[in-house]
């Protein structure tokens, strides 16, 4: 942050600070003097640790976002969400069936969805959250897994949901059911695992392991490259 940068004024949990224009909320908090422990994680939008709520100047709406991905604006009022105390049901994935009965048993709240779309509006990943909850209501696990795939579990959907649904936990269940039971499998993977178990490649690899550096270098640079 250079001295001659334009500054904006923001409120961090009610306290007023001047921070460089263009800062993300995380950068602004650090500039103000916070060494963060909660509400911070990967800093790149992949972990969901930094869910934040904020309000902009002359606006009454409280918006949600990721602190590492949201740029501050002059007059912004910011609060971090340190933790989301949402329920996480415990289940044995091996005992489940990939259908509506599992959803009914583990996430009965899903069926309370009133299709208000608040969750979708709250999602910083722009995921169609309501649509995947509706898909789950219909037992369409594949669609729910697909729509929710980019979810990073920041928790903003669940915090805003008037029906008390924990969307992101239902999403991971849908994803696991799809990955384990419904995604099309290919016998080639099992075949290769078996081949390795049977020692098909052991000799070849041992040969490479025993090679001196010169021979190994030569073998490497002369290997056939087949990529598409």
Touching other proteins, residues 128-157 (CB under 8 A): 145, 149-150, 152-153
Q: What is the CA radius of gyration of the chain?
A: 25
Q: Which of 46-54, 56-64, 102-110, 158-166 is the region at the interface with other proteins (rule: CB under 8 A)? A: 46-54
Q: Measured in whole angstroms, how far is the alpha carbon of residue 174 from the centre of its chain?
A: 14
List 31, 79, 106, 121, residue binding other proteins (CB under 8 A): 31
Is 198 one of the binding residues for other proteins (CB under 8 A)? no
Which residue, 97 or 217, has its beta carbon nearer to other proteins? Answer: 217
Is 227 one of the binding residues for other proteins (CB under 8 A)? yes
Which residue, 58 or 186, has its beta carbon nearer to other proteins? Answer: 186
Cβ–Cβ under 8 Å, residues 5 and 70: no
Is 4 one of the binding residues for other proteins (CB under 8 A)? no
Is 97 one of the binding residues for other proteins (CB under 8 A)? no
Give min distance, CB of 201 to other proteins, in A: 5
Cβ–Cβ under 8 Å, residues 89 and 23: no
Which tokens go with 156?
């903003």
Contact residues for 60 (Cβ-Cβ < 8 A; gap 6+): none
Tell me the number of residues near other proteins by CB under 8 A.
72
Which segments within 13-164 are labelled E, that is strand?
A: 15-20, 51-55, 63-66, 77-80
Is 225 one of the binding residues for other proteins (CB under 8 A)? yes
Biggest alpha carbon distance in the chain?
Answer: 72
Is 105 one of the binding residues for other proteins (CB under 8 A)? no
Is 41 one of the binding residues for other proteins (CB under 8 A)? yes
Is 201 one of the binding residues for other proteins (CB under 8 A)? yes
Please tell me the number of Cα atoms within 13 Å of 70 on its side-chain side.
26
Q: Which of 54-62, 105-113, 129-137, 188-196 is the region at the interface with other proteins (rule: CB under 8 A)? A: 188-196
Is 221 one of the binding residues for other proteins (CB under 8 A)? yes
Question: Could you count the other beta carbons within 10 Å of the beta carbon of residue 178?
Answer: 19
Contact residues for 115 (Cβ-Cβ < 8 A; gap 6+): 130, 134
Q: Which of 51-59, 111-119, 156-164, 207-215 is the region at the interface with other proteins (rule: CB under 8 A)? A: 207-215
Residue 64 forms beta bridges with which residues? Answer: 53
């Amino acid at each position: 942050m250079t001295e001659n940068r334009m500054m904006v004024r923001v409120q961090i949990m009610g306290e007023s600070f001047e921070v460089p224009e263009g800062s993300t909320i995380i950068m602004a908090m650090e500039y103000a003097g916070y060494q963060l422990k909660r509400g911070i994680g990967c800093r790149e939008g992949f972990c969901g640790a930094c869910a934040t709520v904020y309000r902009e100047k002359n606006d009454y709406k409280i918006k949600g976002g990721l602190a590492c991905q949201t740029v501050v604006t002059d007059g912004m009022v910011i609060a971090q969400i340190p933790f989301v105390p949402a329920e996480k049901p415990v289940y044995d994935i091996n005992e489940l069936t990939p259908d509506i009965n599992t959803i009914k048993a583990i996430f009965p709240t899903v069926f309370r969805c009133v299709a208000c779309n608040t969750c979708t509006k709250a999602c910083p990943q722009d995921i169609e959250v309501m649509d995947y909850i509706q898909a789950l209501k219909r037992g369409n696990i594949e669609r729910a897994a697909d729509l929710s795939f980019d979810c990073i579990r920041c928790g903003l959907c669940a915090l805003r949901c008037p029906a008390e649904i924990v969307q992101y936990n239902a999403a991971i269940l849908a994803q696991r059911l799809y990955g384990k039971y419904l995604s099309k499998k290919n016998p080639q993977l099992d075949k290769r695992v078996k081949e390795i178990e049977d020692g098909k490649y052991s000799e070849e690899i041992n040969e490479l392991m025993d090679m001196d550096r010169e021979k190994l270098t030569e073998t490497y640079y002369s290997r056939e490259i087949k990529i598409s």
